[in-house]
Structures are given as structure tokens and as C-alpha cells.
Amino acid sequence: MAKYIHSMIRVLNEERSVAFYDVCFGLKVADRLDFDSFTLIYLSNPETGTELELTVNKDRQTPYDLGDGYGHVAFSVDDVDAEHARLIEAGLAPRKLVDFAPAGDVIARFFFIQDPDGYEIEVLQRGGRYQ
């Protein structure tokens, strides 16, 4: 059986992105591989074995075009209201909290936030299928 181990996104500024993912999600640098033309930074936290790989292409000066194919990555948290307030306090501008109730019952409570490169991140209340 296959095991999902990481997702990769391309970022312009290593320090800015590492700081964002640390402040927002407690992701720390698990490994950093530096090559002539690019650097790979693997971020993780004790909650999961899955990592986020940041790729920094050293010759890149302009923001990446995220196109219309990228959706989002998602993180679950114990208290989505507290996390939303904490990120507002940190000046990171999360969007409004949403109670998603397509058939009348709330099946998800979440908000979105953008990372420094414009990637969308969903932050969900932990529970149900969102563990």
C-alpha cells in the first residue's frame, strides 16, 4: 500500500515562507537540502508524518503563476475559533470563519488563509472526517 509523505510548493523567499508555516501551523524545518540552482526545505510537526516541501529556485525573481489548477492544502486544528483569533492577532489576515451546512447541519467549520506566495490554505475544526 502507498503512503502519502509530502506535497511540494514553489516559493520565492525561504525565510518568509518558513516563518509563515511555523507561526501558522507549527511546522519546523525537518530537513534542508541545498543544491546549486535550488533548495528543498522539508517542514513537519509532531501531529503527522506528512511533510510540506518548499522548493526555492535560486534564479527565480518573479512570483509564480498559480494558475487555475491549484486548489488548497488543509490543516485541522483543535479549536478553529482560537486559531482564527491567534492568526488575526499575528497580523496574518485569515478570511472569515465559515460554518458549512449544505443540508442544514454543520459538517465543517473552517477559514482560509493565504501564504506569502498566494497559496490557499484551509484551516478546519478537527472532528468527523477532518481529523
Annotation marks residue 122 as catalytic: yes
Residue 67 cell numbers, joined? 494558475
Q: Residue 12 and residue 117: Cα distance in Å, rounded? A: 7
Q: Give the amino acid at 126.
A: R
**Choosing from 15, 83, 89, 122, which is the catalytic residue?**
122
Distance, C-alpha 6 to centroid of its chain: 12
CB atoms within 10 A of CB 92: 15
Q: Residue 29 and residue 20: Cα distance in Å, rounded? A: 12
DSSP annotation of 126 reads S
Is the Cα dihedral 13, 119, 121, 72 positive or negative?
A: negative
Residues taking part in catalysis: 122
